[in-house]
Structure 1
Amino acid sequence: MKLNNIKRTAICMSFLVAVSCTDNFQEINTNPNGFTPKELEQDFNHIKGGFAPIFNNIQVLGSQREDQYQLQQNLNSDIWSGYMATPTGFRGGLNNTTYDLTDGWNVAIWDIAYPNVMFNCWDIANKSKGKYDQFYALSLILKVEGMHRLTDTFGPIIYSQFGTGSSTIAYDSQEEVYDQMLKELDFAVTELTKRVDAGDDGKSSFGATDLTGYKGDFKAWVKFANTLRLRLAMRIVKVKPALAKIEAEKAVAHKFGVMTENSDLFQIVSPVSTNSIATISDGWLDIRMSADMESILKGYNDPRIATYFDKSVQFPGQYKGVRTGINIGGKGDHQDFSGIGAVVRSKNIVLMTTAEAYFLRAEGALRGWNMGGDAKSLYEQGIQSSFDQRGTSGAAAYIADNVKLPIAYVDPSFPENNGAPVNNVTIAWDAAATNEIKLQKIITQKWISGFPEGQEAWSDYRRTGYPKLLPVLVNNSGGKISTELGVRRINFVQSERTNNKGGVDTGLAKLGGPDNGGTRLWWDTTGSNF
């Protein structure tokens, strides 16, 4: 890991006060090639130039930026989701993995999102709203995709008040953020659908700018927006069940619907580098397979394991994971366990799979919603979609298996890290099972299919409690974070406390608990899932 300070953006020190900083606006909006504003406006270049930094920072992309991704996501949600673990005892073992939340790391999540994602969405909106609404609609979809990750990390965030230029920028509650995001998706879907119906497919106007696999196709963007709405609807199912049903059914019933083919999945096709995880795993040896992944994938004899992970160097021919939240004597103790595999050695960074859409619909059908199919068939289509996406055979036999279960985790070097299996469900659908067991099956397979996108997996784990994960053995939170429940959120960041203290105070008032990692978010409630 490169623990050098992340270079802070020039958007004043507090990026929110930044939106009123004339000097910085000049810097941001001056074309380095010397084109005049009039020349930039040809072919909408003055608008389209803002999309690249959004694409490149929802998850940080680019060579020599891997340390930023490591702090943005890898050393928090990628680990707390149960996907990955680190063999490195950062800060003498006092770090995120042992629930001593590290403010100097976690500030990156906030300080990357606002100047790169939020600012550029705001800037595109100012230049296009009411004039070139196709670009405004696209910016709204990307804004929701980028910023729902932030509110699902911190809770209250700056959203509706971004760009006001006030010395104190108030936070919105998470409920307020979600309400606005759903309305923004309404506008975007309506606008782009209207354009497709009028014969504008978007490819000529946006294709060269689009760094996703969609190549500017507005219909594909609408299907992604609908699936994103379905994701947000399911997130709020325990706090606003009636609204969740309305929004989910709206997404599925739309004329273009949600993702159904693997060509529909949402990915950033990076022109510059492979997934940052490849460097963090292969080059730095800072991230390994998790004990939970070993327990579940090996127990199910899941063939996707060969795509997800490399076999251990220390134990040839075996997949070996590392348990999170353990005493680490030295990096060499576990660094030669299984690294992350071929799935991250690609320039295509997948942020939403088609399999996820099927699993979301399966959960909706389980709840009695109209999802265009029954829970069993949608669940099985989700598994098949994931196998197809990974180029893996054997889905039919896997789907029918009602015997195999996760296995115990064994640390061959340090038996004190061993653990009995905890996510004890089989794969095959069981019509006689309770809804909780059925949901556990759905979320377990959704978890497997979503690898390596840890942000969404962590959110699902907090919302549902599934898949059940091995608890940490070392908890350095001082009682703030439950060993049983794990980290629920991240503290408000120091850059905001320094530059927008009044705004942070508004966030604290809307948080519903102390500003620590044990406080649940608005949608993360106690009680059963049904």
Structure 2
Amino acid sequence: MKFIKSKIYLLAAVGFLFSCEKEAFVDVNKNPDALSAVPPQNQFLQATQQIHGQDFEAFYDLYRRIMPWMQYNTLQNGNQGSFTLNFDNFSNRYGRLYNGIGDRLYDLEQLVSKLDAAEQPRYDQMIQIARILKAYYAFYVSDIYGSIPYTEAFQGRYGGTLQPKYDTQQELFAKLDGEIKAAVAALKVAPSAPQYSLGAYDQYYKGDAQKWIKAANALRLRMALRVQKADAAAGTAIITEVLAMPATDLMSSNADAWIFIGNATFTGDAGGGNWNTDELRAPKPMVDFMFTKGDPRLDAFFTPNQYTQANINLLIAEKQLPAGTKEGRRYVGSFTSPDDSRQTANIQRYYTPKAIKSNSQTVDTLSFIQPRLFNTGKADAAGNAGTGQSYLPVITYAEYCFMRAEIALKSTGAASAKTWYEDGVKSSLDLYNEIGLKSQLTNYVATTPAEITAYMAQPGIAFDATKALDQIASQSYLNFMKQPQEGWALYKRTGFPNETSVVPLPKVTYLNVALVVPRRAPISLPTQTDPNFANKKAAYDAMAALPGFGDLTSAAGRVWWDKP
């Protein structure tokens, strides 16, 4: 992945850009004419930073909501009570679309429009790339909210309305697909003038138009698979159109992956340590599956427990363990069902660490989330801060392969799906191996070709046409460890993973009552003093009328694409 190496230095520039432009941004918020002091490409960089630099989203939305719901983790003592009903501080994405991302990408176009007419054509590709990124984030927000303002949004300080109407999700997804399609078409045309490249302001592809074409087409496929659940004809039409593109316009390796890569401090502990995963346990279902199958990603995802032979020997000497006790399995997961984690026997065996009296060290039975997978600057046991790279994927090549495998399975059959499935598994193993090495994950050992070969031959991993969709979805679920929000969407879209799938997602219960996995963001009721009350109420009333949407304030209902 040569393009990744060129990104190492980019985050060093961010602090400089932030400090140099801070006063300009304050002025911009008060006076749109002050935008002339800001270079267009800087708005792209700032929007990118806002998309990926959200530690509150990591802490609340991912670590303590979506990841436990989807059994990617548990809290320190296992999942507790009705944890699927906890929505405090949930969904940090909505507000940023209008204050930090969509508005800045809209500003980029406005800045270009204020330039001399002779200069404007030199920004054509930059504008198209900005439109792709804006469409991605609008999709990301609507994905769990449904109807949102878009067509009339972002225009307030340019003479547009301050009370924008809401686009329905069905309307919005069609509009966004059209915008992405148009951007791809424009990027494929030879520019009429030499282009100003985004260069270092683009932390994904350095302004490479061909890479952005591939990313945009992958995004169209991701959206189309959502649409297909609610409107099969519309979704299939988009898929057919994208797959008719030349091979050069489609992802073909990990080098094409849409990934933000920053330095260790980007996901560091500044600002309260919200990237920190110290309290997050490895989940038992996933750990058991990966351990049993010899999944090479196991040590990239999770840490070994503290039962080394040296610690065992100390506990034996203190008569806390029987003589002759030997080191055993060191990857042990936490119970995901509250009824299991609250059992006295499990609390005593798994959630009650032993203390070595001679050195006051605590010996824990259970594994944790691999800290530097999410918090790259995390110090190791010796106190050495991490200095590797922070990986924040948007669409990986593995995801693209799994989408292609699913599409092939539904259209041309299992034979064509097999190749895409196997390519997806291998590319995921390769990517997490790269992350393991370049993020300097603790206790990580590089994956070998022999390990990959052995894993691909394991029952449940080796392609089986009789359970192809299950396998494709199960491996997608594992691949989304760094993108649990997409694992959540996968579950809602396909029904996988589930209790009986290749990678199991066991039923979770509290007081013997089954808990329901949320399906969307809860929505607060508007107040009549809200300046945009009329448009909000109309949009919310329309959503409430959708089959399965349910009560606005509940997260158990379904947005348009998540058709029952």
TM-score range, shorter chain: 0.7 to 0.9
Partner of 1:447: 477
What is the one-letter code of the residue matched to 2:558? Answer: R
Superposed counterparts of 1:177-256, under 5 Å: 177-195=172-190, 205-212=197-204, 214-255=205-246, 256=248
Cα deviation code 1:270-327 (max 9, x no counterpart): 2572446999698562323223322332232211111121112478852233344527
- TM-score computed with the length of structure 1 as normaliser: 0.75
Supply the RMSD in Å over aligned alpha carbons.
3.6
SS of match in other structure, 1:76: helix
Contact preservation (8 Å) 2:57, 2:92: yes
**Residue among 25, 28, 36 paired with 2:29:** 25
For residue 360 of structure 1, the aligned residue among 403, 424, 433 is 403
Question: How does the TM-score come out when normalised to structure 2?
Answer: 0.71
Whole-angstrom CA distance in 1 between matches of 2:144 and 2:172 = 13
Give the deviation of 1:349 after TM superposition. Answer: 1.7
How many Å apart are 1:382 and its aligned residue? 0.8
Closer, same or farther in 2 for the Cα pair 1:76/1:186, shift >3 Å? same
Provide the C-alpha distance between the structure 2 equivalents of 1:26 and 1:282, rounded to a whole number of angstroms. Answer: 32
How many percent identity over aligned positions? 24
Superposition map of 1:85-164 within 5 A = 85-87=74-76, 98-102=83-87, 104-106=88-90, 108-128=92-112, 132-164=123-155
Give the structure 1 partner of residue 165 of structure 2.
170
Partner of 1:508 in structure 2?
540
For residue 287 of structure 1, the aligned residue among 275, 280, 289 is: 280
Q: Which amino acid aligns with 2:399?
A: E
Contact 1:383/1:395 (<8 A) preserved: no
| CA 1:235–1:301: 2 relative to 1, 3 Å | same
User: In structure 2, the residue corresponding to 1:385 is in which secondary structure?
Assistant: helix
Counterpart selection for 2:261 from 263, 269, 272: 269
Letter in 1 for 2:461: I
Which deviates the most, 169-178 or 182-191?
169-178
1:151-173 alpha-carbon deviations (Å, 9 max, x no partner): 11212222222135445433222
Over alpha carbons, which structure has the higher Rg?
2
Change (3 A) 1:270 1:113: farther
Determine if contact 1:275/1:347 at 8 Å carries over to the other structure. yes
Distance 2:172 2:307 in 1: 47
- Which of 66, 73, 79 is the matching residue for 2:62? 73
Bigger drift between 492-501 and 79-88 goes to 492-501
Aligned length: 448
Question: Which of 457, 469, 472 does residue 400 from structure 1 map onto?
Answer: 457
1:229 offset after TM fit, Å? 0.7
User: 1-side partners of 2:51 and 2:143: how far apart?
Assistant: 14
Aligned residue type for 2:108? I
| CA deviations over 1:470-506 (Å, ceiling 9, x no partner) | 2332399xx9xx735x111111247999744434323
Structure 1 counterpart of 2:98, which letter? Y
Given that residues 210 and 216 in structure 1 are in contact (C-alpha distance below 8 angstroms), is that contact kept between their aligned partners in structure 2?
yes
Indicate if the aligned counterparts of 2:277 and 2:371 stay in contact, CA closer than 8 A: no
Higher RCO (CA < 8 A, seq sep 6+) = 1
Question: Deviation of residue 199 (structure 1)?
Answer: 9.6
Matched, 1:467 2:497: yes
Q: Secondary structure at the match of 1:58?
A: helix
Equivalent position amino acid for 2:333 in 1: G
Does the alignment pair 1:57 with 2:41?
no
Unaligned runs of 5+ in 2: 1-25, 114-119, 309-326, 354-363, 377-388, 434-446, 499-504
Does structure 2 retain, via aligned residues, the 8 Å contact 1:59–1:69? no
Change beyond 3 A, Cα 1:136–1:123? same
Aligned-pair CA distance for 1:84: 2.4
Q: Is the alpha carbon distance of 1:186 and 1:475 closer, same or farther for their aligned partners in structure 2, counting shifts above 3 Å? A: farther
Are the counterparts in 2 of residues 355 and 386 from structure 1 also a CA contact under 8 Å?
yes
Is the 1:487–1:517 Cα contact (8 Å) retained in structure 2?
yes
Cα deviation per residue 1:357-409 (whole Å; 9 max; x = unaligned)? 111000110111699x811111111111112223333323322322xxxxxxx
Question: What letter corresponds to residue 427 of structure 1 in structure 2?
Answer: I
* Superposed CA offset, 1:64-98 (max 9, x none): xx3453134333333333322222799xx67xx71
Which SS does the other structure have where 1:312 is aligned?
A: coil
After superposition, the Cα gap between the structure-2 partners of 1:49 and 1:281, relative to the gap in structure 1 and judged at 3 Å, is closer
Between the aligned partners of 1:389 and 1:288, the Cα distance in structure 2 is 23
Distance in 2 separating the partners of 1:161 and 1:181: 14
User: CA 1:83/1:461 → structure 2, altered by over 3 Å: closer, same or farther?
Assistant: same
C-alpha distance in structure 1 between counterparts of 2:332 and 2:371, whole Å: 13
